[in-house]
Amino acid sequence: MAFPKNFLWGGAVAGNQCEGAYLEDGKGLSVPDMLLGGDVDHPRTFLPVTDPTAFYPSHEAIDFYHRYKEDIALFAEMGFTCFRLSINWGRIFPNGDDAEPNEAGLKFYDNVFDECKKHNIEPLVTLCHYEIPWAIVTKYHGFYSRETIDLFVKYAETCFIRYKDKVKYWLTFNEINIACMGEGGIGNLYGLGLVEDEDINATDPILLTDLKSDPQKMFTALHHEFIASALTVKRGHEINPDFVIGNMIAHVTEYPLTPNPLDIVACQNHDNYVNNFCGDVQVRGEYPAYIFKHFKDNGIDTSFIREGDDKILKEGVVDMYTFSYYQTNCITVDENAEQVAGNMSHGAKNPYLKASDWGWQIDPEGLTYTLQMLADRYPHIPLMVVENGFGAFDKVEEDGSVHDDYRIDYFRPHIQAMQKALDQGVPLIGYTTWGPIDLVSAGTGQYAKRYGFIYVDRHDDGTGDFSRSRKDSFFWYKKVIASDGTDLS
């Protein structure tokens, strides 16, 4: 079955994972600039820049900042009609609370969007992909402070006004629900810019999973982010009524491990908390009843919800629901069940699924299930899969080629899964694979965890000349797009 002619095909990146140039043209420090690399068994570590000898991968990343023309031309060669990227907040407001935006930062994204237009590629822009300015972390404790709402809305408004004729599709916060995934304070740091003072002042690297986490502060900060997102959506529509503004959820679909009713109920509760809560707030414009039960059971004081916030949430519901889909987990009450982790989530091992070298369980059928379930849950808005992909070690042959059949084998059934969902009437409007070009891993900080159709010569020891080359999957994805998804051979 062919995908619709106007289906948005492309790839997705984040500024902090590809741009580099971390202090160039007036950019201020942001959260990812404080992160070192990890490896296959360990998430990356956090170290506020105090060690000039340490290797911070995002400082140079893959140098997209200087090579965006070459990269966008390669995306165009594959036939992309959409390119998801983030604006790196600290390029626009280096300290987060500056009176005026940084013109050089604004100009950079003008150039990137113009380059996209040249190739008939529609940009899809994430306003915040873990890129909270570091000064907001230290001065305001990220989104824990209500003042940060205004800082974000001012930043978003600046982008909307500047790019209103260049960008139609926007996302507010990347994977806003990672705060609920409970892996130490990673979600707090990445998603909310919330770090405890003790960790901010660290002089030795801290494993991200060991970062402190306080649920009361987390829910306060998350609420402020919901309000910031809603105000942003409302303001965006005032600036350009044609804007399509979405949320973005890390959807780690969950199944009960067994038919034991206790597993079913545990799965439902966990799924509501991890996957549904944030989407329900952003799509329906109100807090769902089940979360108040969670607040009650966990002694969360809800006084962070101020008078008038309910109106703001209602007025700022999103136009589309977008999500990342990499893997699924099982949930059980059996404490002895074998555990797996992936994309900042935990769950029980599914005996029917294989996993990547990083333990992320591969489940294409689950994508059809997820799309159908989301279309039922939010029937009135379109859906978009804005991240999906396979992190793998690649081997470069002597002639420079990369035979990444394993990556093609990952994508093929996921694309078929979307076809099935479309056939069932799911309003899916686009698909951007994660990391169409190799970049820095968010979870481990590795270069060696590669997602790209395009290989980048850059390595975890800091070597490599940043040159780009086409992997086998490049030619495959090009064929897929050219055939509207009918040729997956």
Contact letters for ligand BG6, residues 297-336 (x by CB under 6 A) = ---------------------------x------------
Residue among 33, 71, 175, 280 that touches ligand BG6 (CB under 6 A): 175
Query: How far, in Å, are 71, 132, 184 from residue 206 at the CA level?
Result: 34, 19, 11
434 forms part of the interface with ligand BG6 (CB under 6 A): yes
Which of these segments, 98-106, 107-115, 216-224, 438-446, binds ligand BG6 (CB under 6 A)?
438-446
Strands (E), 294-382: 320-324, 328-331, 339-342, 345-348
**Nearest residue (CB) to ligand BG6, 272 versus 441:** 441
Which of 211, 123, 224 is CA-nearest to residue 164? 123
Based on the number of CB atoms within 10 Å of its own CB, is 273 exposed (0-12), middle (13-18) or buried (19 or more)? middle
**Nearest residue (CB) to ligand BG6, 96 versus 391:** 391
Residue among 174, 232, 253, 327 that touches ligand BG6 (CB under 6 A): 174
Query: Could you say which of 175, 183, 225, 254 is catalytic?
Result: 175
CA separation for the pair 219, 273 (Å, rounded): 12
84 forms part of the interface with ligand BG6 (CB under 6 A): no
Single-letter residue type at 176: I
Residue among 263, 387, 404, 460 that touches ligand BG6 (CB under 6 A): 387
CA separation for the pair 435, 390 (Å, rounded): 9
The DSSP secondary structure of 45-77, one letter per residue, reads EE--S--TTS--GGGTTT-HHHHHHHHHHHHHH
CB of 42 to ligand BG6, least distance (A): 12
391 forms part of the interface with ligand BG6 (CB under 6 A): yes
Active site residue 175: yes
The DSSP secondary structure of 278-315, one letter per residue, reads HHHHHHHSS--HHHHHHHHHTT---TTS-TTHHHHHHH
CB of 260 to ligand BG6, least distance (A): 30
423 CA to centre of own chain: 27
Q: Which helix (H) or strand (E) holds 416?
A: helix 405-423
Q: Which residue is nearest to ligand BG6 (CB)?
A: 443
Contact letters for ligand BG6, residues 232-261 (x by CB under 6 A) = ------------------x-----------
184 forms part of the interface with ligand BG6 (CB under 6 A): no
Which of these segments, 76-84, 163-171, 265-273, 440-448, binds ligand BG6 (CB under 6 A)?
440-448
Q: Tokens 């099982």, residue? A: 330
C-alpha neighbours within 13 Å on the C-beta side of residue 127: 29
Active site residue 387: yes
Residues that bind ligand BG6 (CB under 6 A): 14, 17, 174-175, 250, 324, 343, 387, 391, 434, 441-444, 449
Q: Which residues are catalytic?
A: 175, 387
